[in-house]
């Protein structure tokens, strides 16, 4: 019996030397030390022996069992080390590379650019850091004009030759009307999507950083019907072919007459609902015929050329379209929000 045990031990130790893979080691462990393993069976039969034999053999058997268990653990640790470093299972699924996607505001901006490009408008980009002159004065909003109060912004700590703070983060895309006229002259058709800034106390509808799209068309004999046709095309593109436009008078210093373009509510088709505050209409776009002073600031003679302009909040459109109730989500970097688009 004793010999049998020792022989088995040698056999097991011998086999352990050549093991290269964890599965084989596990198989061997089951074969010898498992519940029905060969060594286990022998050890169990020790119980049937006489008292004296039991004493000596029992001790030996337990020692061998322990020694083998330790050896198995050693070999296992050894294998795990090398396996971790070099073993590649080419059949495992690869790590997924997550591709990002466009921000909802960019998606909407692209749609709008496509529409206006198809109508022959240039798509322009303008500086976010503007001068007081372009952002206000040239747009018929001189210093101390009350319209400035509605557009408080971030001033840059830089004084001009007169000692005035004259550099600011633009509050609207409208200054690009002047820059575009100066650069391209008349006739002219362009839109300007871009980021704007205001010193707002932020809440669900106000954010210090937001997006606008400006539109400008200058040519001989431009009148309100041209503006209306373009805004109708925009409404149908944004909210569907049945969308209607209505225009109500509104004051903006850089247009005369000025107007507010409203679209029939896409949610209730004009019947009245929560989205349109039961009016059936959504206020979307400020617009009008370009003020002669503004044409002059752009270097264009208002006797020869006329124009229309419009401007609206891109964030607001995206909020309406997707039912987003907090403008601050756009810049929150919250993946739970962003992944929905």
Dmax over Cα atoms in the chain, in whole Å? 127
Q: Name which position in 253, 261, 298, 311 contacts ligand DAH (CB under 6 A).
A: 311
- Interhelix angle 104-118/314-322, nearest 10 degrees: 110
For 93, other C-beta atoms within 10 Å of its C-beta total 5
Residue 255 or 300 having the CB closest to ligand DAH: 255
Does residue 140 touch ligand DAH according to CB under 6 A? no
DSSP 213: E
Residue (255 or 320) nearer to ligand DAH, CB: 255
Q: Of the two residues 126 and 311, which places its CB atom closer to ligand DAH in the complex? A: 311
Minimum distance from residue 140 beta carbon to ligand DAH (Å):
11
User: Nearer to ligand DAH by C-beta: 154 or 341?
Assistant: 154
Smallest gap, in angstroms, from Cβ of residue 106 to ligand DAH?
Answer: 20
Answer yes or no whether residue 174 interacts with ligand DAH by CB under 6 A: yes
Binding piece for ligand DAH, criterion CB under 6 A, among 94-102, 199-207, 285-293, 328-336? 285-293
Give the nearer residue to ligand DAH in terms of CB position, either 153 or 174. Answer: 174
Binder to ligand DAH among 197, 252, 281, 305 (CB under 6 A)? 252
CA 15 → CA 18, 39, 242, distances in Å?
Answer: 6, 14, 82
Q: Please state the closest distance from residue 269 (CB atom) to ligand DAH, in A.
A: 27
What per-residue string of b and e applies to 56-71 under the rule 16 or more CB within 10 Å gives b?
Answer: ebeebbeebbeebeee
287 binds ligand DAH (CB under 6 A): yes
Residue 175 sits in the site that holds ligand DAH (CB under 6 A): no
Interaction between residue 307 and ligand DAH (CB under 6 A): no
Q: Say if residues 170 and 208 touch (Cβ distance below 8 Å).
A: no
Q: What are phi and psi of 91, to 5 degrees?
A: -90, -10
**Looking at 29, 130, 207, 214, which residue binds ligand DAH (CB under 6 A)?**
214
- Confirm or reject binding of residue 309 to ligand DAH (CB under 6 A): yes
Q: What is the DSSP string of 95-135?
A: PP-------HHHHHHHHHHHHHHHTT-EE----SEEEHHHH
In the chain, helix, strand, coil percent, each to 5?
Answer: 45, 20, 35
Please report whether residue 194 would count as binding ligand DAH according to CB under 6 A: no
Could you write out the DSSP letters of every residue in 286-339?
Answer: EEEEEPHHHHHHTT--TTT-EEEEEEEEHHHHHHHHHT---GGGGGS--HHHHT
Interface size with ligand DAH, residues (CB under 6 A): 11
Decide if residue 327 touches ligand DAH (CB under 6 A).
Answer: no
Interaction site with ligand DAH (CB under 6 A): 172, 174, 214, 252, 255, 286-288, 309-311
């Amino acid at each position: 019996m004793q010999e049998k045990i020792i022989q088995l031990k040698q056999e097991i130790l011998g086999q352990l030397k050549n093991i290269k893979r964890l599965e084989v080691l596990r198989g061997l462990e089951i074969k010898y030390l498992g519940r029905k393993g060969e060594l286990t069976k022998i050890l169990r039969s020790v119980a049937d022996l006489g008292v004296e034999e039991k004493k000596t053999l029992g001790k030996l058997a337990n020692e061998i069992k322990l020694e083998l268990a330790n050896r198995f653990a050693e070999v296992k640790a050894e294998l795990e080390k090398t396996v971790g470093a070099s073993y590649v299972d080419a059949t495992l699924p690869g790590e997924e590379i997550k591709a990002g996607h466009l921000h909802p505001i960019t998606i909407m901006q692209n749609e709008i650019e496509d529409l206006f490009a198809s109508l022959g408008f240039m798509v322009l980009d303008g500086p976010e850091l503007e001068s007081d002159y372009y952002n206000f004065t040239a747009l018929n909003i001189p210093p101390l004009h009350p319209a400035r109060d509605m557009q408080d912004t971030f001033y840059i700590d830089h004084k001009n030759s007169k000692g005035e703070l004259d550099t600011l983060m633009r509050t609207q895309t409208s200054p690009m009307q002047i820059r575009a006229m100066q650069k391209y002259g008349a006739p002219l058709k362009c839109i300007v999507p871009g980021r704007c800034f205001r010193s707002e106390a932020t809440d669900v509808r106000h954010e210090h950083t937001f997006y606008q799209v400006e539109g400008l068309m200058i040519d001989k004999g431009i009148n309100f019907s041209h503006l209306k046709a373009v805004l109708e095309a925009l409404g149908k593109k944004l909210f569907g072919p049945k969308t209607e436009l209505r225009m109500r008078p509104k004051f903006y210093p850089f247009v005369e007459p000025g107007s507010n373009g409203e679209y029939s509510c896409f949610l209730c088709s004009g019947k009245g609902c929560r989205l349109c505050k039961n009016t059936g209409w959504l206020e979307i776009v400020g617009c009008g015929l370009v003020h002669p002073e503004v044409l002059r600031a752009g270097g264009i003679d208002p006797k020869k050329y006329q124009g229309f302009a419009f401007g609206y909040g891109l964030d607001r459109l995206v909020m309406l379209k997707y039912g987003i109730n907090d403008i601050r989500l756009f810049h929150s970097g919250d993946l739970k929000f962003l992944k929905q688009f």
